[in-house]
Amino acid sequence: SQQGEEDPQALSIQEGENATMNCSYKTSINNLQWYRQNSGRGLVHLILIRSNEREKHSGRLRVTLDTSKKSSSLLITASRAADTASYFCATDPGDDKIIFGKGTRLHILP
């Protein structure tokens, strides 16, 4: 079963613009993670935010977490062609497994 649900399902933006993706989930979590997947490849971990954190930065990535709304957002600033990929949120409910959403397919236009 998939707990997280990303929004939008697909997003196309011009290179240099910012991209924002949202994730909603259903149950309580220990942490929430974002992963990137290039076509035909495995997933790459981007960033983890713990349930007691509200915002986290890593390079051009900014993640927010609102546990009262059970939602998170991933912002990619100054997008590049290489950012074209699928982005997944994954929630850790504390039972040694993480549960992935369906993903947002991001396409950066030249």
The residues that touch another protein, with contacts defined as CB under 8 A, are: 1-2, 4, 33, 35, 40-45, 48, 88, 90, 96-103
Nearer to another protein, 62 or 100 (CB): 100
d(CA 104, CA 85): 8
Structure-block tokens of residue 42:
């495995």
Tell the smallest beta-carbon distance from residue 43 to another protein (Å). Answer: 4
Tell the smallest beta-carbon distance from residue 103 to another protein (Å). Answer: 5
60-78 residues labelled b (16+ CB within 10 A) or e (exposed): ebbbbbeeeebbbbbebee
Nearer to another protein, 50 or 80 (CB): 50
Tell the smallest beta-carbon distance from residue 25 to another protein (Å). Answer: 12
Q: Residue 104 belongs to what H/E stretch?
A: strand 104-109
Tell the smallest beta-carbon distance from residue 22 to another protein (Å). Answer: 15
The DSSP symbol for 78 reads S
Nearer to another protein, 31 or 73 (CB): 31
Nearer to another protein, 74 or 88 (CB): 88
User: Which has the closest alpha carbon to 73: 54, 92, 93?
Assistant: 54
